[in-house]
Amino acid sequence: MKTPLTTQELHNLAMNHVGKELEQRGFEFIAVNSKLKKHPQFVCIDKNKQYYFVIVRVVILPENPNNYDMVWMEAFKKHARTQNAKVLYAGVGLGNPDGEDLPIYLNEDYLIEYNGIQVVETHLN
């Protein structure tokens, strides 16, 4: 019997994809938070000791993973500025290849739409 992934498992799957990219880019992980609705998911530093707050958002396709709540993001950017951190956003879309109305199953193939990590400007508008 096929087991659909829970919302938390979908979030963890997205975090795994983003975490691999962060590693490939040479970031060092300071903290990782995989709990839903807890931000940021990753706190990292680069080789110059610049801090980065990384937000990972998973959506079910065909929803666009690149869209995020602009009002919420403004509040988060303010928090990042107070911590002298930069903000990175990674939207991950997941779907079932057999149909968008079907869940994503454990140990089964899935579709992914991931356009990489985006820099979110934190300076005031």
* Residue-wise pLDDT tens digits, 90-101: 999 999 999 999
Q: What is the pLDDT of residue 124?
A: 59
Tell me the per-residue pLDDT of 56-83, one tens digit each, with 9 for 90 and over: 999 999 999 999 999 999 989 999 999 9
The stretch 38-57 carries a mean pLDDT of 96
Listing DSSP states for 55-103 in one string gives EEEEEETTS-TT---HHHHHHHHHHHHHTTEEEEEEEEEEE-TT-TTSP
Q: Where are the domains of the chain?
A: 7-120
Mean pLDDT for the stretch of residues 20-26 = 97
Overall CATH class of domain 7-120 = alpha beta
pLDDT at 23 over 80: yes
